[in-house]
Structure formats: C-alpha cells, structure tokens
Structure 1
C-alpha cells in the first residue's frame, strides 16, 4: 500500500459592490462621532478543515475522504445563499473515482446566509457567521473521493479552493449643506463645503479612501471620491458575472 501527499492551497476571488450613504450638517452643537463600523479589509476568510483533505492518501480505493472548506464572513456585508460558489482544482477528479470529470463533485454553492460582522448598540463586535462546505456536496448523493490508481511512492497532489462571491461596502461621510453654497466658508462656521471629508468604511475588500465636497453651482454641491481594492482576492464587476445587483445586493 503506497501513500501520496496532498498540498492544500487557497485563493479567494471577490465580487464587490460599493455603496455610499451620507449625513448632512445641522445647526447647533458640533460633535465628532467615531466610526459606526467595525472596519477592516476582509470579505470572507477560508481554510481547509484539518484532515479534510488528509495530508496523505492510499491507493487502490482504500482511503475515501471528503474535502471540507471552512468559510467565515469577516466583513460587514451579508452573503446571501447562492451568491457564493467554491470550486476545487489542482487535481484530476478522474483519478479519484469520477470518470465523468467530476464537475458536480468539485463545486458547491452556499445554501444559507452568511451574516456579517457588526457592532452592537454598545460598540461590541459581533463576529460574522461561519459555514463548512463539503466536497462532494452532501446533497449531491456522490461518494467521497478515493484514489483509484497505483502509487509507486509518495506522490504530491494539490487541492486548491477558489471562492467567488458577491460582496458590498458601505461608506459614511458627513457633508456640509447650507442655504447658499456660493457664500465663502467662514472661519468658525458649523461646517465647510469645500474640503476633504473624513470617510468611515464598513469592513470589505473595496474601500472609499478619499472623498471631497466642493461647490457645484447655485444650490448644488459636487462630490468626488476614490475607490480602492484594499483586501485579499480579486475584484470583478458584478454585472460581468451575471449577478442581478438589485436582487442579490448584500447591502
């Protein structure tokens, strides 16, 4: 009986949507509130459950096993069911008992909502939820993986998990609104129209890194902001993947 080694590699791919919400200045006392968000630049965090996949396998179909991926929502957007998909790669499913290519065995879609990390009313951090996604999927009726060939010695196998999911970021900034925006900002005034604003971001891979308000004309203000990918994984436009942004929005 020979044994082969399995190397586990993780890669996260992220779909992100950015949304903005603002509050206006009012007369009276001024305050400097802290961030309403937990913050951070993560969306999901992934890891393989220890022993799934195992560090080594035996040949001749004598060591069946499953692959289990632990997925935690570490950011501040909910991930709705069916908007996260994990695909395994790096190995040939045919060598592990799936003669038809094993497409169904190496893909799994989120079946429940992954709730976001958040702050409670007292400012305490409530951790986001965690799920364990099994391959082959438990509801597929498929048998576990098992190496069907012969091994002449220790043989490395690579199993990689790619996650593609819909995510969102909220950014909160305080704008200056006054009757006559063309009037020059006064020293000691309640707020200034023309200036860079402090921006607070919810936890997520895409962040609003700067926001500036300026006069846009009579009775108008202009807002310019910069979006940056600050987290792990890669970012794609949601529309390019076929997701319905309004129906599946995590915000």
Structure 2
C-alpha cells in the first residue's frame, strides 16, 4: 500500500512535466504561425499595395423593401430599395453610363405604372449614383483598411415624381407569388502589380548572389475586384530581352458576368461584348514599353500602341475561362540589376444580381 502511494505522486509529476512540454511546444507553434499571419502570398502584408479580394460592388435588398407580402387590388403601396456597397478598390462614377440597377421579374403595369405610359419599364431602371462618386475601399499607409462607399437605390425610379410607390393592381383569385430580381451593371477595374527581375546581362553567370532571379516564382498582387491576374512568369529570351506571361481570370461569384467596359450587360450568347476585358500594361522599364501579343486592337489603334509596340487591347475569356497574354521588354539599355514593378490595369463591365420572392395575397371582399 505504501509503495502505491509513492508511485501516485511520481505519476502526477511525470504527467505535469509532459503537459508543460506540450504547452511550450504549442505556444512556439502559435508564435510561428502568428509571424506568418502578417504575410500575404509570401510577402509581408505591410509591403503589399492592396487589400485584395474578388468582389466589386455588393447589393442587397433593404429589409422590408420590398416586403415579404403585399395584397392585391391596389391595397398595399410599397417600394423597393437596394443597398449598394463598394467592397472592391475601384471608384464608381455617377451616371447610368457608369452603372445602373434594373428590376426584372415584375410587369410594371401590374405594379402601378399606367397602361398608357409610353415606356413603363423606365421606372424599373435607375443609375447607381445620380451624382458624386462611390469610393472604393483602400489600404491606408499604416496597413489599416478604409471601407468603400455606400449608397441606396430606390424604386420606382421617377425623377419627375409621377410615381413614387408600387402597388399591385390586379384583383386576383387566390394567392400568387412573384420574383423580383435586381441586376447591377457597372464599370469596374482591377489593378495588378508584380515584381520583375531586371538584369544588365540576362544570360551571364555570376559568382555573387544576385539581387533577384529572372525565373523565380512571381506573386501578383491584385486590387479588390472580380477579374484578376492570377499567375505571372518571367523568362529570358535572349541576352537583353525578357518575356512576361500573365493569366487573366474571373475570380468573382459564379453568377457574376463581365463585358466590355462602357457597354450594356446584355447576357445573350450572341453578344460580342460578353466575357471581354480591356488590358493595359502600364509599366515601362526605364522608358522601354511592353510589346504584347494575344491582344485584340482597340477601336482606336493608336490608344494601345507606343513606338509600334502594342501594350493595350482586348481579350475574350470564352465562357469565363482564363486567358494568357505575353509581353516582351527590351533591356539592351539597362546597365544594372534591380527589381521593377509590372503594372497592369484590367477594365470591364460587371454584372451581378439578387432575387426575392413576394407573396401577393388575395384579400378582396368581392371578385
């Protein structure tokens, strides 16, 4: 009995030591993970230029607008309101040419627009902004995030104030349901930056450690937006020339669609502007412009060409599939080794939508 009593404290002591060692190991692991928590794609978060993310504008119905239920026979006036928030990093300008919301799924005449009105559907389309701008979110100098702007779009949209509410007109026989869909269509852009390696002599071996490696993995950084550059690679194609290849991809929600910027969001398969992105390689290397292949010329060829080198144009991402573009830079004038930024702007028109079902109740006392 005495031996058993002596063994018990020893077991407790042994367990305490093991627990302490495990606790120390766990703390070390958490510390190590915390150190990497400030990294984004292998880079320190403080050294990256953007917040990131794959969202532009987000839209949602304001609670109660529309209500879950209405009644028939002009008994229940109501409105439809949408809250718009810019969660990406591009500013949206005012005016319907820069962005609008359109309601679908309801017959405007059934919801109170006079039958003899020449254009009933005009009350179902409104600019996202009548005036001012909807600022994008941005990263502050200290790493904090400044949220993007918000606005509310109200329907029916009638600057002339002839119709300020919807009302279900028909006198129905039994309840029915309608689906209200709100389509957002707006101009947006994504900025992408990637560090490139620039060398005086691309092929000559050196004994000293280089400041950078041409073929090292690249880490593209994208501003918040649904279309992004997801992969960048660099390779020498001669003693004084590099090739930069990058992949453009739709990373937004599955129901989102993109079009040529400044066009309507026409979802028909035959629309030639569907799945089109305008790409502009903004960077030069000490005055040398990029010369790119795989880009369709813009309507004004001079807009995308400098010194007979094409740096801008359109690409079509068929059915949203990714697309690769290659550019070359002449480095014959370079007399040192350094890193430089490869900056690309992607411009497009983006469309997203939300839906809500409304129950229309038959509360009429007479048929």
Question: 1:235 is matched with which residue: 241, 247, 258?
Answer: 258
**Pairwise CA RMSD of aligned residues?**
2.3
Partner of 1:161: 182
Q: For structure 1, which segment, 92-101 or 197-206, has the greater mean C-alpha deviation from structure 2 after superposition? A: 92-101
1:180-206 deviations in Å (ceiling 9; x for gaps): 123247672110112331111111101
| Cα distance in 2 for residues equivalent to 1:84 and 1:204 | 15
Partner of 1:175: 196
| Cα distance in 1 for residues equivalent to 2:206 and 2:82 | 55
**TM (normalized to structure 2)?**
0.55
| Cα distance in 2 for residues equivalent to 1:122 and 1:161 | 37
1:46-89 deviations in Å (ceiling 9; x for gaps): 10011111111122212111110111001011111121111100
Partner of 1:35: 48
State the shift of 1:175 in Å.
0.8
| Cα distance in 1 for residues equivalent to 2:238 and 2:94 | 45
1:198-237 matches, cutoff 5 A: 198-232=219-253, 233-237=256-260
Partner of 1:94: 109
Between the two proteins, the alignment pairs up a number of residues equal to: 216
Q: 1:128 to 1:195 in 2, by over 3 A?
A: same
| Cα distance in 1 for residues equivalent to 2:81 and 2:183 | 13
Runs of 4+ displaced beyond 4 Å: 184-187, 239-242
| Cα distance in 2 for residues equivalent to 1:187 and 1:213 | 21
**5+ long unaligned stretches in structure 1:** 1-30
Partner of 1:104: 122
Q: 1:192 to 1:148 in 2, by over 3 A?
A: same
Q: 1:228 to 1:191 in 2, by over 3 A?
A: same
Partner of 1:23: none
SS at 1:217 equivalent: coil
| Cα distance in 1 for residues equivalent to 2:158 and 2:147 | 26
**5+ long unaligned stretches in structure 2:** 1-42, 265-272, 279-302, 304-346, 349-367
Q: 1:239 to 1:114 in 2, by over 3 A?
A: closer
Q: 1:211 to 1:185 in 2, by over 3 A?
A: farther
2:135 is equivalent to residue 121 of structure 1: no
Q: For structure 1, which segment, 51-60 or 39-48, has the greater mean C-alpha deviation from structure 2 after superposition? A: 51-60
| Cα distance in 2 for residues equivalent to 1:39 and 1:220 | 31
Rg comparison, structure with higher value: 2
User: Bigger relative contact order, structure 1 or 2, given CA contacts below 8 A and separation 6+?
Assistant: 1
Partner of 1:142: 162
**TM (normalized to structure 1)?**
0.79
| Cα distance in 1 for residues equivalent to 2:228 and 2:191 | 8
Is the CA contact (8 Å cut-off) linking 1:37 and 1:118 kept in structure 2?
A: yes
| Cα distance in 1 for residues equivalent to 2:174 and 2:127 | 35
Is the CA contact (8 Å cut-off) linking 1:195 and 1:214 kept in structure 2?
A: no
| Cα distance in 2 for residues equivalent to 1:185 and 1:240 | 52
State the shift of 1:34 in Å.
3.2
Is the CA contact (8 Å cut-off) linking 2:193 and 2:220 kept in structure 1?
A: yes
Task: Say which structure is richer in strand.
Answer: 1
Is the CA contact (8 Å cut-off) linking 1:136 and 1:142 kept in structure 2?
A: no
Partner of 2:337: none
| Cα distance in 2 for residues equivalent to 1:93 and 1:45 | 25
Is the CA contact (8 Å cut-off) linking 1:38 and 1:203 kept in structure 2?
A: yes
Task: Say which structure is richer in helix.
Answer: 2
State the shift of 1:157 in Å.
1.3
